[in-house]
Amino acid sequence: MIELLRKRRSVRQYTDKPVEKEKRDILSEALLRSPSSRGRNPWEFILVDDRENIAKLAEAKKHGSSFAKDAGLIYVITGDRDMSDMCVEDCSIAAVTLHYTAVSLGLGSCWIQLREREKDERTKSEDYVRRLLGIPDSYLVLAMVAIGYAAETPEPHPDNYLQKHKIRLNRF
């Protein structure tokens, strides 16, 4: 696991090679095996592989989502806030599980925050994606994770990049 942690970097450039069905199935299984508070599993995931919808999803934010147009697929991470008060946390855990599974399969990925973000001055990112994909209003639209074969492979962060002073022993 530590090797996956060392290798995982946000990837924003993808090749046009499609992600194979076998890998998509593994990614989906990883999401469904993600832990959640009290086993409530308040998350729902939308796998988007349609090029037209991927292009539209890439427009979900003013800044920081346009690169997703070249991804092989996008998972939209949503959660039923009525099912669990830990919805945001559970969805975040699932998204992180997805990132590390992608790395283990030789794929690149990048988180795209949607909750509390704006598409433009009049439209929240969540609302835009909700309308585009038919997501019920009661669901949070937390994030998207763009996935594909990396066109570039960023080097792992070196050990001296780690902020080791942020680990405290026994007390703050």
pLDDT (0 to 100) of residue 62:
92
Please write the tens of the pLDDT for every residue from 43-82: 999 999 999 999 999 999 999 999 999 999 999 999 999 9
Give the residue carrying structure tokens 């729902």.
44
pLDDT (0 to 100) of residue 162:
86
Ordered by where they begin, the domains of the chain are 10-143 (3.40.109.10)
Please write the tens of the pLDDT for every residue from 1-54: 778 777 787 889 999 999 999 999 999 999 999 999 998 999 999 999 999 999
pLDDT (0 to 100) of residue 169:
87
Residues 6+ apart with CB under 8 A from 102: 27, 108, 109, 145, 147
pLDDT band at residue 129, thresholds of 50, 70 and 90?
very high
* Model confidence pTM above 0.85: yes
Q: What are the residue ranges of helices labelled H in the chain?
A: 2-7, 21-32, 51-57, 87-104, 125-133
Nearest Cα neighbor of 72 from 24, 111, 17, 27 is: 17
Q: Supply φ then ψ for residue 87, to 5 degrees.
A: -55, -50
